[in-house]
Structure 1
Amino acid sequence: MGLPVSDTPPTLRERFRRLEDERRRSWTAEALAVNLDQREALVRAHPQTRHVAAGDTLPPAVLHRTDGSPLALDDLVARGPAVLIFFRFATCPACNIALPYYRETLWPALAEAGIPLVAVAPQPEALLGEIVTRHALPFAVATDGGLALSRALGITYVFDDASRAAAEAKGGSSRQLNGTDAWELPKPTVIVLDPGRVARFVDIAPDWMDRTEAPAILAALGLSQDGQSRAA
C-alpha cells in the first residue's frame, strides 16, 4: 500500500531545491562557484544596504505593462492594497519557477479578494512578455524602465566580475536584461502596498534562490488561502 499523496503544493523553497540539485548534477564546479559566490556576497552585504521598509511611502512611479500601456502606482492602490513582486528577467530560471508558483498559490486568493498583483522587472517590454506567454500568467507583468523604481527603493544589485563574464560568455548583454549599460538587476522583492503608496509589508531576497513564500504574503494581507479575510 503506497503512501498517501499530499494535496499541498510544494513550497517555493522545495521547488528551488530541485533546481539546485539539478545544477549540482549538470553544471561544472566553476559555474556553480560563480553562481554561489555572487549570491553569498549579496546576502553578506544586504544588512548594510539602505532599502525600502514597511511604513515607507513609495515614489509616484509609472510602470508599463508588456503591451506598453502605463500602470501608475496611485491607480493600482486607488481602491485598496496591491501586491508588487519584483523579479529579475524573463529567462531567469528561478523566476520561471517563482512566477508560476505565485500564479498557483497566491493569485487565486488575491483575485477572490479583488487585490491586484503586479510582477515587475526592468527588462524591455518586448522581451519581458515572453514569461507571460510561457506560463499563461493571469496577473499583470510590467517593466520598471531604467530600473527607476527599483533603484529608488534600494533593491538592486550589480553583477560581480565573474557573473558578468559568465553572462557575456553565453551571449548576454545588460541591455537585454534592463535596457541600460549597467549590469544591474533587482533583488527579488515582495511589497504589499496600501493606498497612498505606503508599504505595509516588505520582504527582500538578496539570494534569488530563497524568495518569499505565498503564505507570508497572504498573512500580511490578513487573508486565508481561499481569499477570505482571517478576521471574518
Structure 2
Amino acid sequence: MTLQSKLDAFKADFEAGKPPYNVPYSVIETMHRATAELIASGVAQRALQAGDRLPAFTLSDPEGNLVSSIDLLALGPLVISFYRGVWCPYCNMELQALQETLPRFEALGASLVAISPQNPVNSRKSVRQNKLTFPILSDPHNDVAAAFGLRFDLPDYLMDLYKSLKNDLPAFNGDASWTLPMPARFVVGQDGIILYAEVNPDYTHRPEPEDMLPALRRAASVAA
C-alpha cells in the first residue's frame, strides 16, 4: 500500500467524522479553506528547487546533540523531510514510510533527517511513537524552514481552530509565533546542490519515499 493511499484512507475516515475522530464538517471546511488559500498564495513556488544550493544549518537532535548539514554531507547524500509535528497524523504516517525506506537510502550512502519546529520533548515522542532510527532536528522559530522558503504564518481563523482542537503550537514548539513549515522533501548531493525537491502546500498529499531514489542513485554515481 502506497503512502498516499494510506493518507487518502485516513483523510476519508477523518472527513467523514468517523470514530474516533468525530469531527464536525465545519472543522473540515475551515481546513479546506486554509489549504486553498495557501495554494493560491503561490508561496510554494518560491521555495528552493532542484539546482539550488542547500542553506547550511546546524540544529539540535532530541538529545541536545548538534547536527551539521556540512558534517552529514561529508558522509554522503542527504535526505531532508520537513515535519510539522507530533500532532499531525499525516506527518506521522510520512515518517513511518520514510523509516521503512531508510535501508534503501542507506544502501546508496545517504543520511536522512527530519526538521521540525517542535521542541525536543515532542521530538522524542515522535521518534518513540513512530519507531524511528533517524533524528528529528529542532528548528526554533522555523528559521531553517524559512531559509528553504517553507515557513508560513497561520491565518487568525486557523489559529482559533487549532486552539479549539487543543493543537497549541506555541506549547508544542516552545515558540510564541504561529508558524509552520509546508511539508517538503529534498535530496542534496555532497556538493550541496539540491537534486530533488518536492513542496506541497496541501499537507494531505505527500510524495512516495521511493520517488527520491533516482536522485540518490545519481548522487551515488557522482560520488563513485
Shared fold per TM-score greater than 0.5: yes
Task: Structure 2: state its 5+ residue gaps.
Answer: 18-22
What TM-score, normalized by structure 2, do the two folds share?
0.89
The residue aligned with 2:96 is 100
Matched, 1:68 2:59: no
The residue aligned with 1:133 is 128
In 2, are the aligned partners of 1:38 and 1:163 still within 8 Å (CA)?
yes
The residue aligned with 2:113 is 118
Give the counterpart letter for 1:102 in structure 2.
L
1:155-166 counterparts in 2 under 5 A?
A: 155-166=150-161
Output the CA distance in 1 between the equivalents of 2:116 and 2:43: 23
1:189-204 counterparts in 2 under 5 A?
A: 189-204=184-199
Matched, 1:217 2:212: yes
Q: Which moved more, 1:185-194 or 1:20-29?
A: 20-29
1:5-154 counterparts in 2 under 5 A?
A: 10-26=1-17, 27-46=23-42, 49-104=45-100, 106-154=101-149
The residue aligned with 1:179 is 174
Task: Structure 1: state its 5+ residue gaps.
Answer: 1-9
Tell me how far 1:173 sits from its aligned partner. Answer: 2.6
Output the CA distance in 2 between the equivalents of 1:100 and 1:68: 23
For residues 98-139 of structure 1, give each alpha carbon's deviation from its aligned partner in whole angstroms, at most 9, with x where no partner exists. 1111112x2120122231000111111111211100121011
In 2, are the aligned partners of 1:46 and 1:206 still within 8 Å (CA)?
no
Give the counterpart letter for 1:217 in structure 2.
M
Output the CA distance in 1 between the equivalents of 2:151 and 2:141: 12
In 2, are the aligned partners of 1:147 and 1:178 still within 8 Å (CA)?
no
Output the CA distance in 2 between the equivalents of 1:48 and 1:19: 24
For residues 64-95 of structure 1, give each alpha carbon's deviation from its aligned partner in whole angstroms, at most 9, with x where no partner exists. 11111000110010132110011101121111
Tell me how far 1:165 sits from its aligned partner. Answer: 0.4
Output the CA distance in 2 between the equivalents of 1:189 and 1:60: 17
The residue aligned with 1:6 is none
Output the CA distance in 1 between the equivalents of 2:153 and 2:160: 13
In 1, are the aligned partners of 2:85 and 2:117 still within 8 Å (CA)?
yes
What TM-score, normalized by structure 1, do the two folds share?
0.86
Output the CA distance in 1 between the equivalents of 2:10 and 2:32: 13
What RMSD over aligned residues (CA atoms) do the two structures have, in Å?
2.0
Give the counterpart letter for 2:10 in structure 1.
L
In 2, are the aligned partners of 1:91 and 1:131 still within 8 Å (CA)?
no
Is the partner of 2:81 in helix, strand or coil? strand
Is the partner of 1:200 in helix, strand or coil? strand
The residue aligned with 1:4 is none
Give the counterpart letter for 1:37 in structure 2.
R
Tell me how far 1:48 sits from its aligned partner. Answer: 7.0
Percent identity over the alignment is: 25
Output the CA distance in 2 between the equivalents of 1:208 and 1:36: 11
Output the CA distance in 1 between the equivalents of 2:12 and 2:166: 25
